[in-house]
Amino acid sequence: MDAFAAIADPVRRSLLERLASGPARVVDLAAEHPISRPAISKHLRLLVEAGLVAADQHGRERHYRLVRAGLAPVRSWTDALVRTAPPIPASALDGLDLEVRRTSRDRRGTPTPRTHEETA
Amino acid sequence: MDAFAAIADPVRRSLLERLASGPARVVDLAAEHPISRPAISKHLRLLVEAGLVAADQHGRERHYRLVRAGLAPVRSWTDALVRTAPPIPASALDGLDLEVRRTSRDRRGTPTPRTHEETA
DNA sequence: AGAATCGGTAACCGTTGTGTTACCAATAGG
DNA sequence: CCTATTGGTAACACAACGGTTACCGATTCT
């Protein structure tokens, strides 16, 4: 499971938020959540597999900790999407008015992209 | 469906990436993907519901466009998690060495948080 | 040694998600 | 007017998800 699917579950996000304040054991996390310990254990296994969490073994105890670097794929992807705002300097639009009018009925498959409104 | 679950699916991420380069119709998106048109349609419905996409009706055609603001929840959440790196100025650690040694075996439920290594 | 704690895993089950095909309404075009 | 295109939706099949209980091994403490 990748990081995107990992953070899709509210329980797992809650676990990550908890681990952000310091490592914890499975029993600790289970005590702080309304679901059973095996359920927590399974979520943690997915989070480890996704690279968002790591575990340190101390005798019979296992201390899970947050691996912030695992969020890098999510951050870079969202950043890339948000940053694709069309640059298009106003100078490039000079004298385009007549051209747009001529082709307004031809290019059906590729409608003119919005450059204002909710494109922000 | 919220934005987190929306971007968990690879197909939907692909759709969002495509819409980042300009609006498109369902048939266009279906032609660019290996799945059927109804499947695309259902994904788009979820994306609209998640606030990541909006549609403009033009006669019988429907032009879907990316709504970048819909990613705000994901960005703010990931930012918050990453930014929880323990500040802890070095000055606050002065004279703590003796204290730590005294309690190292007592505080079992709340182990000492990592402040180095993969915590980054 | 014996009891208790920690924690993983197997087996099972209901729900949800993702795809398909088939069908339908609405609009555009010859 | 008739046909083609666009696109939503219903019905269905199958896989995956998220939870439970039961059971197990390993370690720690008395």
Contacts of B62 in chain A (CB under 8 A): none
Say how many CB pairs under 8 Å bridge A and B. 108
> Quick one: closest CA in A to B3, which residue?
A8
Contact check, Cβ <8 Å, B109/A28? yes
pLDDT tens string B26-85 = 999 999 999 999 999 999 999 999 999 999 999 999 999 999 999 999 999 999 999 987
**Which domains are assigned to chain A?**
3-71 (1.10.10.10)
Burial class (CB in 10 A: 0-12, 13-18, 19+), B28: middle
Burial class (CB in 10 A: 0-12, 13-18, 19+), B58: exposed
- List strand D contacts in B 76-95 (CB < 7 A): none
CB-nearest to A81 from B71, B111, B113 is B71
Decide: B58 and B52 in contact? Cβ < 8 Å: no
Share of chain A above pLDDT 70, in %: 73
Kindly tell me if the per-residue pLDDT of A22 is higher than 50: yes
CA-to-C1' distance for B61 and C27, Å? 9
Decide: B28 and A81 in contact? Cβ < 8 Å: no
End-to-end CA distance of chain B: 31
Token pair for A42: 């399974």
CA-to-C1' distance for A57 and D27, Å? 12
Of A68 and B92, more confident: A68
Predicted ipTM? Answer: 0.80
Residue B12 phi, psi (nearest 5): -65, -35
CA nearest neighbour of B23 among A114, A19, A75:
A114
Helix (H, G, I), strand (E, B) or coil at B60: coil
